[in-house]
Amino acid sequence: MQSSTAHRYPPSARRFHVRPTHLLVFAVTLLLGCSTAPREARAQNDDGRQASLTVSVSGFENANGVARIVVYDAQGSFPRPKGSARASSVERIEDGQVQASFAELPLGDYVVLVLHDANDNDELDTNFLGMPQEGYGISKNRFTSVGAPDYEEGAFTLPPEGSSLAIEMKY
């Protein structure tokens, strides 16, 4: 009798060491972190200083659906289910780009994730291997070759004068 785990992933996934479950977890947690309303601020620094963050995203393949932008403030919350995002925004895509501003963020370290929800179904659509069929982006534009992005790849420090990020979509 053959073991049912012997063919857990299709041959092409095994060859590139792709773990579809990692991408699926990334997709689900990104979407659960999105909301049309900003989240309440949680103290990240001791002195209460705050700054603003402007996120400009380009490289959308089309204007279908919406862009979901999620700001995470700690490695432990990245990416986690609803309630762990510091802030989020849902934006309409115009001319292949979007922009969102987040005011009054406590100074500290953050990661920004962006999803092109092309059919506006609140899901990151994937193929049979679990690979995204919709675009995504991360602050600092660093992408792993396999699996979902990790905190270190996109982490940046929000300074007292605020910051602007440029994120390029990946499909």
Would you give the distance in Å from CA 12 to the centre of its chain? 26
pLDDT band at 21 (very low <50, low <70, confident <90, very high): very low
Rounded mean pLDDT, 145-162: 86
The DSSP element (H or E) to which 153 belongs, if any, is helix 151-154
pLDDT > 70 fraction of the chain, expressed in percent and rounded: 68
The DSSP result for 7-53, as a single string, is TSS-HHHHHTT--HHHHHHHHHHHHHH--SSPPPP---SSS--EEEE
CA-CA distance, 67 to 24, in Å (whole number)? 18
81 token code pair: 């289910």
pLDDT score, position 53 = 98
Looking at per-residue pLDDT, the higher value among 161 and 48 belongs to 161
Measured from the Cβ of residue 100, the count of other Cβ atoms closer than 10 Å reads 21
Which of 52-56, 69-73, 82-86, 152-156 has the highest average model confidence (pLDDT)? 52-56
CA-CA distance, 92 to 15, in Å (whole number)? 38
pLDDT tens-digit map of 88-120? 999 999 999 999 999 999 999 999 999 999 999
Looking at per-residue pLDDT, the higher value among 7 and 29 belongs to 29
Q: What letter would DSSP give residue 59?
A: -
Lowest mean pLDDT among 67-76, 87-96, 154-163: 67-76
- What are the residues facing 20 on neighbouring strands? none
pLDDT score, position 107 = 95
pLDDT band at 123 (very low <50, low <70, confident <90, very high): confident
- Asked if 118 contacts 65 with a C-beta cutoff of 8 angstroms, the reply is yes
- Asked if 21 contacts 131 with a C-beta cutoff of 8 angstroms, the reply is no
